Amino acid sequence: MNKQIKISPSIMCCKLWEVRDFVQAFEETGVDSVHFDVMDGHYVDNIMLGTSFYKDIKELTHIPVNIHLMCMEPERYLDYFSPAEGDRVSFHPESCNQPYKLLQRIRENGLKAGLALSPGTPIEILVEVRKILDFILVMAVNPGFGGQKMVPDHIDKLERISELIKRFEMDVDVFVDGNTTLQNTKKMYAAGANGFIVGTSSLLKNVDYFKEQYSGYIANIINTPNNTLLEKKYGWNNSH
């Protein structure tokens, strides 16, 4: 099974006055999606991004939006945002009363359904929802704020998730959110991730930097020395 490398720039990392230029750059480079963090000030201490901003992004581009709900009772937010068909929606299972039911509902709305796993969230729940799961969002940092360093056992967690995916023959993308520097991303990729949420620690320093570095960023990931080991260990290889 081939897994394409997928880049999803985090729109919260863009300066407000640069959003339009960044979105245009995302279209020119062909990113997979635009990552959109929603925080309620309860599940995490921070507060952002709202429904009006989501609608603005959808007016600017047809690129799918990757909505990450860092909220208590995320089931309440699906109707607020009314995501467009083809968008992705992920949430943290511990914040939800009935995670299986919410995944079903997300899919019924024509969206791709995902679970977001914080550093301390056990991976076993993935087995229970594997038939209705399109992607996994693995947090390399504690959710809520940018600028953090990757937690020390993140790579081990990715490897265990990859082994679980192989064991149960799950057809899912594995995205990583947090501190996706090129050096870290090579390790994440070698551990089985194929999607990367990029921010100021990697590509979103400014619009020109993003356009100049985008192709090289992916090429360097693909050329990770552990490619052969990855294919043998997890039964699939990544290609752009």
Residues involved in catalysis: 37, 177
CA 85 to CA 50: how far, in whole Å?
19
CA distances from 58 to 9, 61, 86 (A): 15, 5, 12
- The angle subtended at Cα 44 by Cα 38 and Cα 50, nearest 5°, is 20
In this structure, what token pair is assigned to residue 154?
């993140």
Provide the pairing of β-strand 34-40 with 47-48. Answer: antiparallel
CA 47 to CA 55: how far, in whole Å?
18
Other beta carbons less than 10 A from residue 17's beta carbon:
7
